[in-house]
Structure 1
Amino acid sequence: MDRRSTIGLLILLLGSPALAQSALTGHGVENIRDHGARGDGRTIDSPAINRAVQAAAKQGGGVVLVPPGRYLSFSIRLLDNVTLGLSAGAVIEAADPDIHGRHYDAPENYLEQQFQDFGITHVHNSLIYADGASNIGVVGPGMLHGLGLDREGPGDRWWQRDSWQSARALGISPKEFMLRDPNEAAQVGRANKTIGLMNCRNVRLQDFTILQAGHFGIIAHGCTNMALDGIVIDTDRDGIDIDCCRDVRVVNCTVNAPKDDAIVLKSSYALGRKVMCEDILIQGCKTSGYLMGSLLDGSYRPSDYPAPDRIGVLGRIKMGTETNGGFRNVRIADCLCTNTRGILIGIVDGGTMEDVSISGIVLRDPVNHPLFVHHGARMRAPKGTPVGTIRRVRFEDVQASGVDPRYPCGVEGFADGPVEDVSFTGIDVQSAGGGTAADAARDPEYRRETSLEVSYLKTLPAHGLWARHAKRLSVRECRFTTDVPDARPTIALRNVQGAQVDGLSSSKPRGEAVSAQASTGIVLGDVQVLA
C-alpha cells in the first residue's frame, strides 16, 4: 500500500486527517491482521497485537492499526513511539481467565500495597499497559471491552505496616511474595484495569470508548504531558484515575461510574515515594452514576447501588482518596455532573493541597454534598509523616439543584489541621429544605482520623454551608434556597477564624433563624457562629 492510500485508510478508520498525517511522518503502519490477528471474537489475538507493536517500535515507531473486528486479548504492551489506532467497528475484548486461562502479565513491582490497595499498585496486570514509555497513544473511535477484567482485588495490607516487609527486603520477586498470600496468589495471571500507565511521557488517549472497565478504566501513575480527550467510559468501578502525574489534560470526556469515582486525582505511594499530582486540567467533562451500560444504550436507567454508607451511587469528580504527595495547581471547570455524588476534595494521608480552582460546574440531583473540602488524618503513610495542609481552594460559578437537604456544602478540618483560605463565590444551591430545630441543634461527630468520605457527619446543622476548623473562609454572592421552610441557619460555622460573608441570599424564613453568637469579622443574619 502506498503512502497516499495508507493516509486515506487511516483517515477513514480513525476519522482524523491530522492524526493520520502525523502518525505517518517518518514512520509506518502495522496492521495487526498482517501479524496474524483474526478478530473473530474466539481467537486470542494479543500475541499478534504485541508482534505488531514490537514491529512498529523496531522501525522507530508508528501506528498499530486495529481494523474492524472483535479481538480477544490478554495484556497488550505499548512501547516507545507507538500509537494503537482503534478503527470504527474495532473492539478489543479482555479475555476471561476463568474461560481462557490466566495469561495476563503478572504484577510487576516490589512496592506491593503497603500504603494503598492492590488495584492501584501495579499496571502490568492490565488489558493495555505501558511502563516507562514515551510518545505513546490509544486513539480512534473503536472500543475496549473489559469483559474479562476483575472488579475487586484481594484487599489491602497497609494496616500491617508495623510488621510489613517488602519483597525486595525479603530477597524474593513480587510474584513469589504474592504466592505467600493465597488471596494475592489468585491474582497472578488475572487483570483488573483496562489501561494502566506507569512513568510514561507524552501520552495521548483520544476518542475511544471503554465498556465494563474492570476496577479501573484508565489509571496513570507518575506520567507527564498526558492528554485524555473525547473518551467515553461506561463502567461500574473507577473511570479515570490520575495519580502522582504532572501536566495532564482531561477534556471532553464522559464517564458513567455508579459504583465508584468517575474522575479522580490521587497522590498515592504507588511509586514508592511521595510525588505531587500537579498542573492538572479537567474541563468540559460529564459524569454520572446510572446503571452500567445504560449510558451507551441511551436508556439512562437508575442504579440501585447503595454504597457502604447506604447513601447511594458515586460517579463523581474527586481529589484525595490517597494524598501522600499532595496536589498543586488543579483546575476543574465547565463540567456537568448528573445523578452522582458531589465534588469532594481533601487531604487524609499527609501532603499539601494548594491552588485549586473549581468553576462552571452544574450538579443536578447530587446524592450527597454538592461541594465539600475535607481534611483528615488517616495517615496511610510512612511513619513520621506529618499531617497535611489544605490552602487556597476556590469554588466559583457552581449551580446545584435537587440537593438532598441533609447534605449542604461543607468545609471540615480538625483542630490541629484547619482548612485555610477556601472561597465560595457565585454558588447557587437549591435543596428540598425541611430541616428541623433538632437538626439545627446537632453537633456533628468529630473525627480526626478518617478517610476522605464525610458521610459520618450525617445531617448537618445548616441548609447551605457548614464549616468547622477552618481559617479565612470567604462566602460571596452565594444563593441558597429551599423548596419548603428549613429551621436551620443558612450557614453554620464552628471554630472558624476570619470568615467573611458578603451578598448572601437565602429563601429560608428569617422568623425561623437560629440565634447566633457574635464573632469578630462576620456578618450575622442567616449565619450561625459558635466557638
Structure 2
Amino acid sequence: MALMPRPAFAAQTFDIRHFGARGDGETLDTDAINAAIHAAARAGGGVVTIPAGRYLCFSIRLASRVSLRFEAGAVIIAADPARHAGRYDLPEDRGAQLYQDFGHSHWHNSLIWGDGVEDVALEGPGRIEGGALTRNGPGARWQAQTGERPLSMQHMTKAEITALESDHAAMERLGNKAIALRMGRRIRLSGLTIAGGGHIAVLATGTQGLTIENLTIDTARDGIDLDCVRDVTVSGCRINTPNDDAIVVKSSLALGEKIASENVTIRDCQVSGYDLGTMLSGTNGTTQALAPDRDRPTGRIKLGTESNGGYHHILIERCRFAHCRGLALETVDGGAMEDVIARELFMEDVTTAPIFVRVGNRGRGPHGTAIGSTRGIRIERVFAQAIDPRYPAILAGIPGHPVRDVTLSQINLTYAGGGTASDAARQVPEVPNAYPEPSMFGVLPAWGLWMRDVERISLDRIALATAAPDARPPIMLDRATG
C-alpha cells in the first residue's frame, strides 16, 4: 500500500510571533495561533511556523490548505480550565450518541482539531504536552449494558467506575484529545512528540488519505485511533499506552452510519505498555501491575472493539510489541473483517494472549445488528517470548458463527509455563456477548494455542515452547471443522 502524496501548500509562511504569540509558557497564545491559521487560510493556504518556545493554549482550529510547522524546541502546552482563564471548544451537540463513548463522539473539545479540512499537515520536530487534558469521560449510552465493559471490571464498585467515566456536564470546559480529525482529506502528521494525549492522543474519524509518520506518543489512554477511515498509513511511530490501546482501527457508528475502515497500513511501529512516561524518559518502567480495566498493561495493536462497519484490506507489518498485550483482531458488533494481513511481528513480555481473533455477539448497535464474520485473515512470521502463561494464542467464535478462513504461518511462541492439571481440566465459559478480551475466558486449558468455533483454519510451521513445565496440552480444539 503506497504512502499518500504529501499535500501541496502555498509558499507563504506565517510566524505566530507576528500575531502576538509569546511562547513564555504563562501567557495564553491560543488567539495568536488561531489568528495565524486564519490569515494563512484567507491567503489561500500556507505554512504557520511555531518557533522554539512554550505556547499555552486552549483549542487550536485547523483550516484547509494550512500546515503547522513545529520547529525544534516548539512546545504546545494544553491549558487547564481550572487554572487558566478560558476553556476548550465545547463538544458538538450531536444528539444522543448511543453506540460509542463520549471521547469517540466529539472532536471540537480537543487541543488541536480539524473538521472537514483538506490538505493539512502538522510537522515536527516539536512537542505537544497534554497533561491538562482529561483521560476520562462518559461511556456509551447504549441500553444493553452486557458487553459494555470488560469482565475484568465486573467487581469494581460504582464509585470506581464513576471515577473513570465522568458525566457529560463535567466535560463542558475540558479538552480530552490532543489531535482530533473528522471527515478530513489528505492530512499528514509527522515527527511530533505527544506527552499526554487525554482520552485519545490522535483521533481520526471518517478521514481519507491520512499519513501518520514518526510520531512518539506516551499517554495515559489511547494512542492513535482510526475510525471509519480509508487510505491510511501509520509508519515509524513509537507509542506507549499502559492503560489502553496504542494503535487501534475501529468502525463505529460515530458518524451515524456504518462505514468500513479500509486500506489501512500500519508498519515499522513499536507499541508498549511501560509505566506512564517512562518510554519518553528511556527508563521503560514495568512497576504498574494493572490497567484501569483490572487486566494487565495494554499498549497493543488492535482491530476493534467497535466493528459495526467492518474492516477491509488491513496490513500490519514489521511491528514490535514490548511489555503489552498482543495482537487483537475483533468483530463483535457486526461487520465483516476481511483481507487482514499481520506479518513480521516481534513481541517481548506479552501481558496476555499474543494472538487473539474473536467473532462475538456483543451487538452494540441498533436492534437487529448482525453478527460479524472473518475472511482472508493471514497472520505470518510472529515471534513472541515471555508470554503470560494463562493465555495461549486464541481463535474463538461462537456457535453458528465461527472464526473462519484464518492462516497462521511461521508462528514461534514461548510461554512462561507453570499451568496445572486443574487448569487443563477447566471448562471454558461461552460468554458470547462479553466485551472481547483474552481474560474473558479465564485461564485456558491449553498453553500454546486454543481454538473454539473455528472453520477452515490453516496452521503452517507453528513452534510452541514453555520456559517451565506446563501440565496443560499445547494445543486444544473445540467445535473445529475444516
- The bucket for the TM-score relative to the shorter chain is over 0.9
Q: CA 1:111–1:366 in 2, change beyond 3 Å: closer, same or farther?
A: farther
CA deviation profile, 1:433-477 (whole Å, cap 9, x unmatched): 232222222221111112222312111111110000010111111
Residues 326-475 of structure 1 mapped to structure 2, 5 A cutoff = 326-475=310-459
Residue 269 of structure 2 corresponds to residue 285 of structure 1? yes
Find the aligned partners of 2:394 and 2:407 in 1 and give their Cα distance: 11
The residue that corresponds to 2:189 in the other structure is 205
Residue of structure 1 aligned with 2:463, choices 479, 488, 500: 479
Q: Which structure's CA Rg is the greater one?
A: 1
CA distance in 2, matches of 1:257, 1:144: 16
Letter in 1 for 2:71: S
2:223 paired residue number:
239
- The change in CA–CA distance for 1:389 and 1:85 in structure 2 (over 3 A counts) is same
Structure-to-structure mapping, 1:151-162, within 5 angstroms? 151-159=135-143
- How many percent identity over aligned positions? 46
Q: Distance in 1 between matches of 2:81 and 2:144?
A: 30
Do structure 1's residue 61 and structure 2's residue 45 form an aligned pair?
Answer: yes
The reply on whether 1:295 has 2:279 as its aligned counterpart is: yes
In structure 2, the residue matched to 1:322 is 306
Cα deviation for residue 102 of structure 1 reads 4.8
Aligned mate of 2:35, from 51, 72, 90: 51
1:348/1:282 CA distance change after superposition, 3 Å: same
Distance (whole Å) between structure 2 residues aligned to residue 437 and residue 103 of structure 1: 58
Cα distance in 2, alignment partners of residues 160 and 433 from structure 1: 38
Among 100, 106, 130, which residue is 1:146 paired with? 130
Distance 1:415 1:433 in 2: 30
- Within a 5 Å distance, the mapping from 1:106-125 to structure 2 comes to 106-125=90-109
Farther-moved stretch of structure 1 (100-109 vs 317-326): 100-109
- Within 5 Å, which residues of 2 pair with 1:86-101? 86-101=70-85
Contact kept, 8 Å, 1:258 with 1:305, in 2: the verdict is no
- Tell me the amino acid that sits aligned with residue 50 of structure 1: N
Are the counterparts in 1 of residues 21 and 55 from structure 2 also a CA contact under 8 Å?
A: yes
Residue 505 of structure 1: aligned partner: none
CA–CA distance in structure 2, aligned partners of residues 442 and 346 of structure 1:
24
Cα offsets for 1:93-113 (capped at 9, x unmatched):
010011114521111141443
- Cα distance between partner residues in 2 of 1:119 and 1:463: 37
Q: Distance in 2 between matches of 1:281 and 1:111?
A: 33
Q: What is the CA-CA distance between 1:156 and the residue it aligns to?
A: 2.8
Q: Does 1:104 align with 2:88?
A: yes
The 3 A distance-change label for structure 1 pair 189 and 160 is: farther
User: Does the aligned pair in 1 maintain the 2:234–2:265 contact within 8 Å?
Assistant: yes
Pair 160,411 (structure 1): closer, same or farther in 2 beyond 3 Å: closer
> What pairs with 1:480-519 in structure 2 (closer than 5 Å)?
480-498=464-482
Distance in 2, matches of 1:401 and 1:394, equals: 20
RMSD: 1.7
Residue 309 of structure 1 and its aligned partner are, at CA, apart by 5.2
Structure 1 residues 147 and 309, CA, compared in 2 at 3 Å: closer, same or farther?
closer
For 1:89, the aligned partner's letter is G
Task: Name which of 208, 215, 223 aligns with 2:199.
Answer: 215
Structure number with the bigger relative contact order (C-alpha 8 A, sep ≥ 6) is 2
Superposed, 1:247-266 pairs within 5 Å as 247-266=231-250
SS at match of 1:98: coil
Unaligned runs of 5+ residues in structure 2 are: 146-165
Residue by residue over 1:483-519, the C-alpha shift from the partner in whole angstroms, topping out at 9 and shown as x without a partner, is 2332222210000111xxxxxxxxxxxxxxxxxxxxx
Query: 1:202, 1:406 → 2: CA distance?
Result: 44
Alignment correspondent of 1:176 = none
Secondary structure, counterpart of 1:60 in structure 2: coil
- Alpha-carbon distance change, 396 to 111 in structure 1, aligned in 2, over 3 angstroms: farther
Q: Partner amino acid for 1:409?
A: A
Over 3 Å counting, the alpha-carbon distance change for 1:303 and 1:191 in structure 2 is: farther
| Deviation per residue, 1:341-383 (Å, 9 max, x gap) | 1111111111111110110000001000001101111111011
**Preserved contact between residue 111 and residue 272 of structure 1 (Cα < 8 Å):** no
CA distance in 2, matches of 1:187, 1:230: 31
Q: Summarize deviations over 1:165-188 as a string: whole Å, max 9, x none.
A: xxxxxxxxxxxxxxxxx9312211
Q: Is the 8 A contact 1:251 1:282 kept in 2?
A: yes
Matched residue type, 2:75: V
> What is the aligned partner in structure 1 of residue 154 from structure 2?
none
- Residue aligning to 1:175: none
Q: Tell me how many residue pairs correspond in the alignment.
A: 459
2:25 to 35, 38, 41: 41
Deviations 1:233-256, CA, capped at 9 Å, x for gaps: 011110000000000000000001
SS in 2 for 1:424: strand
* Cα distance in structure 1, aligned partners of 2:300 and 2:218: 13
198 and 309 in structure 1: CA distance in 2 versus 1, 3 angstrom threshold = closer
TM normalised by structure 2 equals 0.92
Report deviation, 1:86: 0.6
**Aligned-partner residue type, residue 368 of structure 1:** T
Q: Deviations over 1:318-354 (max 9, x none)?
A: 1111111010100100001100011111111111111
Output the CA distance in 1 between the equivalents of 2:208 and 2:95: 21
Checking the alignment, whether the CA contact within 8 Å between 2:394 and 2:438 is kept in structure 1 is no
Deviating beyond 4 angstroms after TM superposition, the runs of 4 or more aligned structure 1 residues are none
Shift in Å, 1:423: 1.2
Contact 1:333 1:358 in 2 (8 A): yes
Aligned mates of 2:468, 2:281 — CA distance in 1: 37
Q: C-alpha separation between the residues in 2 aligned to 1:440 and 1:347?
A: 28
